[in-house]
Structures are given as C-alpha cells and as structure tokens.
Copies of this chain bind each other. A is one copy, B any other.
Amino acid sequence: MGDISIEQAFQTLRHMPGQSIEDACIDHHRGLRTGIPEVIYGESKTSKQIISIATAFLQQNTLFLATRVDPQKANLVRDVLPEISYHEQARMLTCNLHEHYSKQTRGDILVLCAGTSDIPVGEEAKITAQALGNSVTSHYDVGVAGLHRLFSKQDEIASASVIIVVAGMEGALPSVVSGICSCPVVAVPTSIGYGTSFNGISALLGMLNSCAPGLAVVNIDNGFGAACHASAINRKNTPDTLQDSGSTV
C-alpha cells in the first residue's frame, strides 16, 4: 500500500467507509475499535426512540446500555421489551450483560462515594463497569469529614486494580485516596451541594488541582465515563488481540 499517492489515499479516505454502513445511527463496530460499545444517552430521547434503538441492539444480541433514563421512561420501555433490566439508582437500562466486552481483567474495580447523595453517580459507574466485564466493589459513605470510615476500607483500597472516587461539594476525597494507594485513581465530581458548589464545578476544580499526583478526572456526574476509563485500564488483552479474535462479528 506504500506506493499509492497521498491524493489517492485522500480519495479513499473520502469515499470508502460509509458505503457499507446501512444505519447511520448505530455503530456496531465501535466495540471493536475502542473496546467500549455504543451506549445510548437517554436524557434527550423519548421512550419510543429508546425502544427503537434497543430493538436493533437486541436483534444483534449485543450488549445494550442506556444511561440517564428516568423511571417513567424506563417503565414504558420495559412494557414493550421486558427482557431489559432497569437499575433505578443508576438510572440505567441494560440487556445482554453476558455479552461482556473485556472478560479478561487485571483485578477488581473499587467504587468509593463521599456521601449518600453521590450514590446515583457511583451506581452508574458500577453498573457500567460490570457491564463491561469487570468485578466491582463499592463503598458509599466514606467522605473526608470522618476519615476513619475511609481508613477502615484500606485493605480493599490497597488491593484494587483501579479506584473510582465519586464526590461532590469540595471534592476532597480523591486527593486523600490518591495519597494512600498506588493504583490509578479516576475522580468523578458530582453536582451535589448548593451555593458555591456551582452544580459540581467546585468539586471538579478540587479534583483537577489535587496535590496528589496521578489523579485523572471526568465530567461532572459522569459515572459512565469513569467506568469506561477504569475498564480500559483493567482490561488484560490489547485492542489488536480483541480485533483478531473479533472475526465472527
């Protein structure tokens, strides 16, 4: 392929990939490329739209995940597609969880929440990480106001493969956790708080400015994204291996 000109390459780039795509909306090959399947962002979709997309996924027997689905929408979807499960705290719909994308993992993912109000975000992270084939442990009230609660989980902190730390308000928990463990820590700011919490900006800034080096951060309330990053870290096989074995897709 080395002898084609850049002009030819550019023409190829222009015309090719779209030709075998029948449905612009669903990118069934995404899992192949990135190890993370296409996931439905439910907030701005009607139950009807979710049903229509879910039906397409179910026909392919691939993992179906939808985030930010409120109970009303979830009930309407499950009336039509009862094989779909709803996780109320996480506000997620899932199906075909056995279709794990990264079955071979390095260890366990630990999800820690600073307060009980952060649980929905923690659960979104947990369900997502499990759906992506990981074993997940969680503790949901271990904030810095009572550090002994955190230290009592020290063994699990020491043995985790990745830790997802979820916190609102001042967002200090990830700094503290990061200072007492050596595995990668993913910090998720939440919109919990009032006044100058500014719907999570305060927590986000606290995490981005952590004096504990090595903390990486995702968007406010983005438990899903944290789980995707943690899952990529926890995956044992490389992407190429995945694709080579992925010939039957």
**Interfacial residues, chain A to chain B (CB-CB below 8 A):** 1-2, 4-7, 9-10, 12-21, 24-25, 27, 29-30, 33-36, 39, 41, 43-45, 49, 68, 107, 114-117, 139-149, 151-155, 158-159, 161, 169-172, 175-176, 178-186, 189, 191-222, 224-226, 228-229, 231-233, 235, 238-240, 242, 247, 249
A6-B29, A179-B146, A183-B239 known; A1-B18 Cβ under 8 A: no
Q: Are B231 and A214 in contact (CB under 8 A)?
A: yes
CB–CB A208/B219 < 8 A: yes
Which residues of B sit under 8 angstroms from A34, Cβ to Cβ? 178-182, 212-214
CB distance from A142 to the nearest CB of B (A): 7
Closest B residue, CB atoms, query A204: B196
A207 CB to nearest B CB, Å: 7
CB<8 Å pairs between A and B, sample of 28? A1-B12, A1-B15, A6-B20, A6-B21, A7-B29, A7-B249, A13-B17, A13-B154, A14-B180, A17-B148, A17-B151, A21-B148, A27-B145, A36-B214, A147-B147, A170-B170, A172-B176, A172-B206, A172-B210, A184-B229, A194-B221, A195-B199, A201-B205, A204-B208, A205-B206, A216-B226, A216-B229, A217-B217
